[in-house]
Structure 1
Amino acid sequence: MKEGVATGIFSKTLDSAFVEAAGLAGLNFIILDTEHGPASLETLHNHVRAARLTAMHPIIRVKGVEAHAIGSALDTGAAGVQVPNINSAEQAREAVQAARFHPVGSRGVCRFVRAANFGDQDKASYFQEANQAVVILQVEGLEGVKNLDAILDVPGFDVLFVGPYDLSQSAGKPGEVDAPEVVALMREIAEKAKAKGVLLGAFCDTEKNAELLKEEGFSYIAYSVDINIFIEKIKEIVGGLR
């Protein structure tokens, strides 16, 4: 891993053993995906426990800007929350508000949750620690790019994440993440974020694109998806044995 770059994957598994194995393999983080994944809230609790057995940080991607879902994700004890489809500064503020307690936000309060050791943790320390959770906002459409300057000015989030596949769809090039139009949008986003000192994250599914992201200053890189990585490795093994 390049110094200063956090490496992770997306997860769509229902088996927490795969999550634990990912952490044992040395990943920095894992994004437990509920936007395009099948995991229930109960499964997420088990995934977070599995990740916490290792040094890997569990991040939950919720379906969108919805206060209850964001709060519930953080109640599991996840290290952070990732919110997709941010198109405006108003949505960015709503996401931050839902993820932070007073005085930073207005997250719903219940200390009898796993994140607070089911009520056993000191209240003051819980609220203070909870406000240190990582908040990641995804910009992945032309409207979000248009409003990027205002989004970047919203205080309280930690990483701006670019979804290249959704960005390619928005640019009229679905799936063509290497298309010049998509690459230009990625660079525009990167330049504006770096100018304002905002950390950058993105998804990729090839080693070539991972290196390109590093060169552009992305420091939170999610490489592919656990189940697809498993499929590709099995195909490699099968091909080698035949």
Structure 2
Amino acid sequence: MHNFKSTLSQTSLLGTFVKTPHPHIVEVLSLAELPFIILDAEHAPFDRTSLDACILAARANQLPCLVRVQDSAPSTILNALDCGATGVQIPHVCTEQQAQTIARTCHYGEGGRGYAGSSRAANYATKPMAQHLADSASSTVVIAQIEDPEGVDNVDAIAGVEGIDALFIGQVDLTVAYGATSVNDEKVRQASIKIIEAAQKHGKPVGMFVATAQQAKDWGEIGVSFFCVGSEHKMIIDGFRQERNVMNS
């Protein structure tokens, strides 16, 4: 598998969130030639076994696979990375100190990620420690999701943390937090632009969730470089609704 970390800053990378905790979905999505997927362990019913199976399916099909974990606990992050995930996306990152702790937790070193050479990530004890440490340092992707007003206020400091590879704009949570009724609210838009500017200042890519590819094109012109368009659930619903409408027209 190519080093996804090195391609993350390319423009117009279009992936999707995966909500169904079953490897068949991942296998099918690999045929769509997406550049990446994000397993949504924050909002979908992934347990340790299903997460492991889906990551295995992604690796078997050379599909970069990130995990949006449910929290930033070391055990949560360790599980995703030991299973072989390309990286993790951490929700609700609000301060520089929190970002520093997350970056340390995601990488090997003093006070950081616990080492186990028997994991899938380490090729089940067949990869020398020095090689696994080097590979992990060069390829593990750590994304801080900014979705709270406090995170927006501190976004410049968060973006500057070494070990945070990218930012992700959580527009829906920002909409709720600001008391708005739409992601198109001007306050949400300005917060999003502030996040983009902070990422650009520190030379880091920024991603976001969008409902359609057209929205991705619009935000891409402003500086967003990778997108999650909907989910496999949305694609199933939209696809069959479209076919039903054709049938009934």
In the superposition, the TM-score normalised over structure 2's length comes to 0.91
Between the aligned residues of both structures, percent identity stands at: 33
- CA deviation after TM superposition for structure 1 residue 143, in Å: 0.4
Structure 2: which 5+ runs fail to align? 1-9
- CA deviation after TM superposition for structure 1 residue 60, in Å: 0.7
Structure 1: which 5+ runs fail to align? none
Are 1:160 and 1:198, in contact at CA under 8 Å, matched by a contact in 2? Answer: yes
Are 1:62 and 1:82, in contact at CA under 8 Å, matched by a contact in 2? Answer: yes
Q: Which residue of 2 aligns with 1:54?
A: 61
Are 2:12 and 2:217, in contact at CA under 8 Å, matched by a contact in 1? Answer: no
Letter in 2 for 1:94: T
Q: Which residue of 2 aligns with 1:206?
A: 212
Q: What is the number of residues matched between the two proteins?
A: 238
* Distance in 1 (alpha carbons) for counterparts of 2:76 and 2:135: 19
Q: Which residue of 1 aligns with 2:75?
A: 68
Corresponding residue SS for 2:130: helix
Letter in 1 for 2:38: I
* Distance in 1 (alpha carbons) for counterparts of 2:238 and 2:222: 27
1:188 paired to 2:194: yes
Letter in 2 for 1:214: G
Corresponding residue SS for 2:206: strand
- CA deviation after TM superposition for structure 1 residue 207, in Å: 2.8
Q: How does 1:75-224 map to 2 (within 5 A)?
A: 75-102=82-109, 106-131=112-137, 132-174=139-181, 176-224=182-230
* Distance in 2 (alpha carbons) for counterparts of 1:75 and 1:148: 29
1:55-87 CA-to-partner distances (Å, cap 9, x unmatched) read: 320001111221110011100111111101000
Corresponding residue SS for 2:124: helix
1:140-182 CA-to-partner distances (Å, cap 9, x unmatched) read: 11000111121122111111111110111111114x1111111
Query: Which structure's relative contact order is higher, taking Cα pairs within 8 Å and 6+ residues apart?
Result: 2
Corresponding residue SS for 2:24: helix
* Distance in 2 (alpha carbons) for counterparts of 1:151 and 1:68: 22
Structure 1's consecutive aligned runs of 4 or more residues displaced over 3 angstroms after TM superposition are none
* Distance in 2 (alpha carbons) for counterparts of 1:180 and 1:11: 29
* Distance in 2 (alpha carbons) for counterparts of 1:193 and 1:211: 18
